[in-house]
Structures are given as structure tokens and as C-alpha cells.
Structure 1
């Protein structure tokens, strides 16, 4: 191409690309400084994690679970009876869905959209008998026992409610996928993590963007071969920390294209211009398509040249992902479906698929003592008040046990936690785990909330029911080993 045929190069857009991906040291350092001092800007959420649904989120343990999930950058959806009343209790990053487990018509399939696990703290509301104490908080904090009464029907909440919830969960949750980017529910966090990387970085004039519109992401633009260019792409900034997808087989894209061939590129190193692992896929015009990209079929490339000596893709440290429209295939070959000009690829989600390690899908916070009412081998007078007053409280423990049974028979991967008496103490003590429902003692709500988050990641916890209380010794980090030693149901 002669100099007269060359098109003007947009140096400003080149600098903008480097700046967006923090490749200009001074500007990047200044941006980080202002981010750290600007208290008005929202905390960046890790949009690459699946959604955790929390039920009973306004309760003592539920609120703590939500706070801890947010601190670890999970996306959180909370099922609440009264959305407006719940808003003051939560960060604005919590997605509130109004519904009631006792009313199945309020539990729509939308509740489970892109949910990877549920932590349920739903329980019958119990409060002191009116006039028994002017300070209700004392009862909940276990400072002194006051005469309690139930506000709800234990049968409806603990048993029927669990049946209603499980029915929706079984239809809506999948165990073999992990949602990485959900473009059907776009957020500012998702928008901020993606940016354009076009051939302007090599002197070309192609231009593209990723727009969030109508419950999808639209990768579109104009590819030009001028100035020896010919590619446009959008790429994530480096994920910090990198994702560990070693439990999965590959990446799943849900797209609708324009009949052209595209590339998906994923990187297991944090370098800007390093080796990527690429996969080409074809689309059909205006036709939805699910693209499954096995990790084993990813091709190591450096600037469209294959580098087989780099070996297989390492899914344990995923730093970035990229979508590309390009005239280049591999090693000098051309994309057979390429034509310069406008292009459009609509993306609804990016997931990891083929999970080969099962972790809990449903964590239920139940109660110690659920099997004790009516047990002939126990002295009822030596049991906690809730056991002795089970009948007066509407059979609350009996119905909790029936609710547990619904979960055990559901076919889901579950863990059932039976805490002993809950307290407001700091959760810094070692935990004691037993099975058989004979354990007595106390345990901090903080400790139970921390335990729930740990169990989300432990296959050792699946299909197990256990009681838990605190020891007098400090936590020694032995919880995982203790859970692994428990017997499955």
C-alpha cells in the first residue's frame, strides 16, 4: 500500500487504549491514587463470580452472611418479605427480591437466574411474650431466657416453605456451570472491566466497543484493512486475583452473531502483549447459539502466530478474556468468513462449564435439637429450653427436621448446619462438630456466617448434617479437616 493510500492514524485513541488498561505508568498510578482516596466511588465488585442467593437475609445470621459475601466480592441476591423495609439494612450492591417461601406464587424462576448456590437462614420468627421484657434484644442475644412465642406458623415456614423453595431451586440451579459474566443483568462493574483493543495499537484504523443494551452485551464496530490492520476486539482488564477454573472443562458463550467467524482469547498470564490461548468459532446470522470451548482445544498464540512450545492452557490462573473480529486466522492464514466493514456479536453470558468437583449448592442453617423432642433416651429436663418447649412453640423443632428431610431428599448437593444456642459473641473460638444431635453449648452468629462461606468451597461438606458449638480454645484453623471427617447422610 502506498503512502497516499494510508489512512490517518488516531494517536489519541492509541493513548486512550493504553490508559484504559493502565499501561501508562504515571497516569495509572494517579488513577489508583484517586480511586483510593475517593470515598464516594463505589467499591469494585468482582463481576466474575456467580450469584449467591441468601434467604432469611434480614435475620441475625443472614445479615452477617450477606456482609461476608460482599467482603469477598460475591454477587448477592437476597429474598426478603418486604423490599422497602429491607433496603436500609443492606449495601446497595445487594439485589433484593421480594418474596415469601410460604407463598409459592412469589417464588418466580427469576429468583434463581444465574444463582450458583443458596444459603438459607429462613426460620420461624420467635419473640418474647408481650410484656415479658421491655428489651427484646436481650432474648435474641441469649443474655437471659424470656418466655418466647412464635410469630409465624412453624409448619408453614420450616416445612411447607422449604418444600416451596426446593421446588424452585431444583428447576433453576445447575451444578456444572459457573457464571463468569452475566450480561442479561448489566452493571457498572461489568461495563468498567471491559475495554476496546483494536488494531490502532499497531497503526490500524479499525474501531469497536462493547455496549450493554437490552439485557445483553453487544460487541460491534467497523474492521478496516487499511494501514495493514484488520482486527477489532474487546478485552477484560486483568482480573485480580486471577480466576481459578481448574475444576471446569471449558468456556461457554451464549451468543447471537451475524454469520461471521470470531475468536475467543483467554490468558493465563498477566502480560499485556503475552501469549493468549485462542479458539475460532462461526456464527449464524440472527440465530442464537451456544459455543462451548474446551480448554483442551485452545491454541497458544502470540499475535496470531501459534506457539505450541508454550504447552496447554492453565485454567487455574485466568487473567483476562477477549472477543475478536479479525481477518487473521493463524500463521498467515486468513479468516475464510472475513469481510471488512461493520460487524455485530451479541453476548448474553460467559460461563465455565463441565464442573467435575461438586461443592454445596444449598446450605441450610437449621438448629441443634431437632430430633430430641420425644426421644426416650434423653432426660428432657437436661435439654435446652427450645427442646423442652417444642410443643408450646408450635412444634418448631419437629417442623425444622421435616424441612431438613425435604432438602436431604432433593437430589441437590447440600450441607445442613445445626447450630447450638446462638450468641452475639465474637466468632474467634474453635468449633466442635458432632453428629447424632446430642451436642449442647453455644456458638457465635459470626462463626456460623463464616462457616457458611467456607462450606461453599468445600466438596468435603456435601451431603452432611452436623451440629456445631464453640470450644473454649482459640480457632486453630482445623475446620476443614473436622468437616472432612464427618459421615455423609
Structure 2
């Protein structure tokens, strides 16, 4: 402090020479004589004397004429001179501004307040006051010190959080905002209680996952979706609407939006599928060849030859139908065509096929022939079995699921694929009931073809679905809950979008990052997991290539049960300083 400041405090020259013991003046009024004293109050000093003993502050006696000014007034306190009070307030403010003890205390108070807000992000069970929410919202959207939490590419990514007011959704929203994402929240109604649960900077969209028309505005401008919604009850209709139909409606809405963007870019979007063939007219059937054969060439097979027949035609209803029957032992019929891709397009830039088909629920074998186009004798065959449902469905066939017919052949190289074949064989057919409740003959089939497309290779996931393992659900309701959850997962896999399906154990209200996590695909987990850890996995999976097209269970670390010690369950400790998700998911099977 300068000498001028010391002079303003007291005219005493002894006080100017003592820089470590500036007196702080306080006002005291005598209740009897209305006498006002200005008594010097010693300031706290960290200095210590010899023997580590604290120096006692010096207090001047009131009788001393130098530091004390005594004024006897007969007027009331309201009639005291105002300039003198203002001068004393200014003196007090100037002392607080330069007092190192006070400055340190204020800085620690500000830092503790900031740290309390951040540490409470994962603790949603704590009751949040209105002023705390406003301060937290301002802190989350402010740049500067928060840059260490930002993720590259987050500023150009808009994430739609479905179920933003759920136990996991509330944490997901705040984690996304902390990392710089643009967040949209889909809610059913705009009640004040719902709005208070979300930060003010979140764009709220009113809609219902069971109503497809209300989802178009929700996906507008969104790049990715995190689905955290759960049914409010275990009623079958509520489960079907949220867990199954809701997922299906959102995948279709996101696909329609991506297709709209692709049309604006003249089909040059990286998410555009490659159309291999579309059966929209009778001319689209040209080039497809119907063939038949048998796996056995012995005399016994000829004795049990019941005949087989198949045809591929364009019906009056505008459908391309491949139908027939196979009564021969070891026989099969197939539909084959040599591919003719657009100029400059090759299948090595795609990760699989998607078929939009309908029929009576038979299983088929998709065969790809790969090799030099000039010499088909060197071609190799690769197959993958697909299952259809009664009615129409979309079937996803990744290239990684194709296996060579001859075990010694190398893995499939999509760049060399030149022929596509769809084969029906009576063996390994599941029993399917007809419309009248009677079982159909597994040797007959009917396949309606709409289109065949190639799925683009993506580096990141498009849709993150938070499902469940069934643990923690009432035993009498577990089957119907899991049935609805699995139906929603299947609709997401068949959609063609890049997906990540997370099945956490029973959710717990506790801070995240405190215990190691176990990722598994064998339905073997038995422990719970905190909501904050599940939310952190959702956020990290947005830009992790190893999370694309994978389904997995996750829970807290535990000791394997008796008889399951042979299974290796690797635990990964969540830490913001490292990406634990990549090594955890790199060993898991894809397209599951």
C-alpha cells in the first residue's frame, strides 16, 4: 500500500512506517451519551515472531489523543454529517481491495463455488436451486477455462437427446453442453417443471416418439441421436410405443432427413446408400436368372426327388415376387444376377447390403461371387444367411458376416464382387404359422423384393440407444420389457444407420468415474452401474469409430461367479484424461 493511502487513514506518522499492521477503523457509539468513537482495529497479519509465536496486535487506548478522535453530538444519528460516513465507507472499501487475506479468501470462495457446480454434474439426486441452475447454465456455455473439456468437431455437431428429463438424459444434456455440442431436447410437453430440469441454452422441441409427424421438426438440423427414453409403465401398449415404435419412428425420420440432404447435394452425401437394383417395373427384372440345383448327386437322392420349381415375375399389384417350392432332398433354387454398378463405384467403399423384402418369413442364403471379372473360373463364393419376417422388413447384411464356401479361401474383398445370388433351401427353415394359425410347409417360399442397396462405410455412429439387460426389472414383467427392448434394437439394426446399443445393468444414483467398468457381449453381467457412467459412455461413443454398429452390456467391476472364471472380463477405469472406451470396445464383435 502506498504512503498516501496510509495518510488518508490516520495523520499519525508511526502508522505510515508500519506496513504490516495497518489499522482498520470501526465505528462505535455509546448508548448513554450519544458519543461516537473511531477505534482502530488491528488487521490480521500472517507474520510471526521468534519461536513461531504470533505477534499480538497493538490496540491504542481511547485516551490517546493521536489515533482517536472523540466527538460529542447532541443531534440524533440521522442528523450526522453524511460526507463523513461516505468517507469512512470509501476507506473501508479501499482496505478490502488491497488486503491480501481478504483477496485470498474471496478467490477461494469463487473457486469452491465453481468446483461445487462442476462436481454436481454427475449427482442428479441433489436438489438444484433455481439460482444454481442459472449460474451453471452460464458457466457451461461460457468459453475460456472450459476449453479443456471441448471435443474437436463438437461445435459442428447437433445432438438430439430423446428422454432428456430421464435419469440418464439429464446428465447427457449437461455433458454435451460442457463439451461444446449443440443440444436439442425432445419432450412430450412444455410444462414449467420440465423446463426447469433443462438448461436454458438447450433447444426444446415438443413431440411424441409414437407420433411420426411430430418428429420431423425434432430431427431437423441434427447429426446424431441419443435415445434415453423409457416407458412410464410396464403396460404392453406403453412399452411398444416407446421402446419399439419410438425407435423405429426416429430412425425413419433421421433417414428421411439424411435423404433430403443427399438430394440437395445431388446424391453426393457420404451417408447416401448405393442403389444396386430397385424392382419398380417389369424392366427391372431383366438380367435376373432363376436356377436350381442339389447338394447330392447320388442314387438315393434321385429316389427322393419330389421336384422343385421357382419363378421370378412382376405381378399385377406392382411387386417383384420370387416364389416356388423345393421337394427334392438336398435341393435348392436361387435367383442370380451379375452386378452393374455406376461408373466409378465399387463395393469396397461400403460396409454391407440392405434388402427391403417381404414374404412368408423364410430364411435365405445371400451368396456373393468375387474374383476377376474377365476370368470367372477364378472366382470364389462367400455366403451369409438372412432371416425375414412375415410381411415387409429390411434386412441388413454386413460384408463381415460373409464366410467363404471353401475354408481355405481368403476373406471377402468387396472390391472384387461381381455377382449377387439369393438362394432358398428347405433345410434349416423355422416353422412359421400362417394367417389361419396353421403351420406352412417349410418347402415352399415367397419373397417380395423392393430394392437392394449398399450401406456406406461410416467412421462414427448415428444413433445411440440406451436399452437394458433386464436386471432390476420385476420378474413377472421382465419378459415383456425385454421383448419390447429387443424389438426396438432390431429395428435400429435394420435401419441402415450407424448404431451403438448400450445395455447397462441396474442404474444407481452415485457419482461416475469412481469404479472400473466391464464391457461384455455374453449376457453375463450381474452388477449395477451409475447413471453418470452410462451418460459418459453415450457422449464418448459419438465420435468413437470402435463403437459403430456394436451392442454391448456394461456394469461395474465385479468378481466372476462360480463356474464362470474362464470368461475374461476386462475392466476399464473411466478417466477424462484417457479414452477408455476405445480399448474396451475394440475387442467386441461388430454388427451385433
Please classify the TM superposition score into its range, dividing by the shorter chain length: 0.3 to 0.5
- Tell which has more relative contact order, 1 or 2 (C-alpha 8 A, sep 6+): 1
- Structure 2 length normalisation: TM-score? 0.37
Larger Rg: 2
Q: Which has the higher helix share?
A: 2
State the TM-score, normalizing by the size of structure 1. Answer: 0.45
